[in-house]
Structures are given as structure tokens and as C-alpha cells.
Structure 1
Amino acid sequence: MTVRKFALTDVSLERTPGQEADVFVGNLVDQRHGGPVTIGYGRYEPDQSIDEAIAVDDVMVVLEGRVSVSSAAGTVTAGPGEIVYMPKGSSVTIRSHEQGALTAYVTHPHWQEAHPDTKQR
């Protein structure tokens, strides 16, 4: 794979697998590209909440809006320019606030391989 730059316009967002909330993700780089990480964008509509068992190390960068991530260790809230790290094995609830949120994410290894019930994008 060569050095590349990505923008939100490069991705097709789809509802987060296994969730009914208005939360959408789209991978730009994943196992199909031969690298060790998955990179993509996420969009959270206002006041949405999802529960996730984190199967991979997951880094979420908040680009717009705010999200709160709750786990057994407590709750962190992040806004534009802030990063949330969710280690493999965590059980979390991710909640957007009244303005929704736009995020970018990096996972290691690939989240789709860790969730074999998800379809390839």
C-alpha cells in the first residue's frame, strides 16, 4: 500500500453492524488492503447510544460534536480534537450528545475479522 490521504467524501457510511441506533461507519483501509490496521470514519446522529464489546484495540478521534464513552472504569467525554482509546476486552457504551458527532477511527487488528458475523464493505 502506498501513502494516501483520505477525506469524508471518500467513504460510504453504513449502519454499524449489529446495531439499531443511527450510528454509521465506513472503512477506508482494512484487511483487503494488506495493512495491519483498519481506518475509517463514523457518524453518530444526535442522542444515539450503542453498546459494544471491544474485540480489538480501538482508537476514536472526535472531529465534530461530542461523544461519551462509559465502561466499568467510568465515563469520558471527548470533543473535537480529542482521542478516546478503548482497549481490547472492554465493554463500553458510546453515546452522542445533542449535536451528534463525526469521528475517525483506527483499530488493530481489523475489527471486521474480529466480528466474523459482519459483512465486508
Structure 2
Amino acid sequence: MTLERRQVTSERSCGSIALNRASASLARCSCLSSSARRSPACWQERGAIAVICGGALYVAGMFVVTVGFNVQLNDQLAAADTATGAATPVCARYLTEWTFWNHVRTIASTAAVLFIVAIATRP
């Protein structure tokens, strides 16, 4: 086996190990299932807090921000009459506010990924 082939094989196996660990952590602590809600042991497992925080951060940072702010701004921009000068203030507001909320989504998504990485790479 060539060095390049060994490196690819090694990278694939490391990726599989990380995915398997993350999947096992999520499966063991699926706190949304009815049996897990009754069992306090699920909440005490190592990595449970990271799963909960990462999931909550993703939902709040991506879904809520998108639906609550970005879609509203997109609708306002689409409704603005671009033929007249009335759309200029809407466009200016759109650029500043949409960009801000897009940065919030980016930071929240990155933080959620970091929680997942922390779970996957734990010993």
C-alpha cells in the first residue's frame, strides 16, 4: 500500500471514529425520547450538557433568527417599490440589519459545531 493510500485510509478511519463517537453520545442521551425524560441518568451522562447546549444554540441561532429576522427583512425588501425612491431607506435598513443577523447565525452555527466537535473528540 502506498503512503498516499495509507494516509487516505487513516483519515477515513479517524473520521469514522469521530462520527461514531458523536452518534453514540447522541443516541445514548436522546433526551427527547419518552424513556429518557423519565430517566435522570441520561442528563448525568458525560457530554449531555454539550448536546443540550449545542442543540439549543443551533435552534435559537439558526432557526429563530432566520424566521424571526432574516425572512421578515427579505419580505420587506421584496415589497419595497424599487421604481421610486421609497425603497432607498428600506435597502439601507436591510443591508445593516440583515448583515447583523446573518453574523449572529454564523456565530451560533460555529458554536454549535464546536459543541459537536467537543463531544466527538472526547476521550
How does the TM-score come out when normalised to structure 2? 0.19
Structure of greater relative contact order (alpha carbons < 8 Å, 6+ residues apart): 2
More helix by share: 2
How does the TM-score come out when normalised to structure 1? 0.19
Largest Rg, 1 or 2: 2
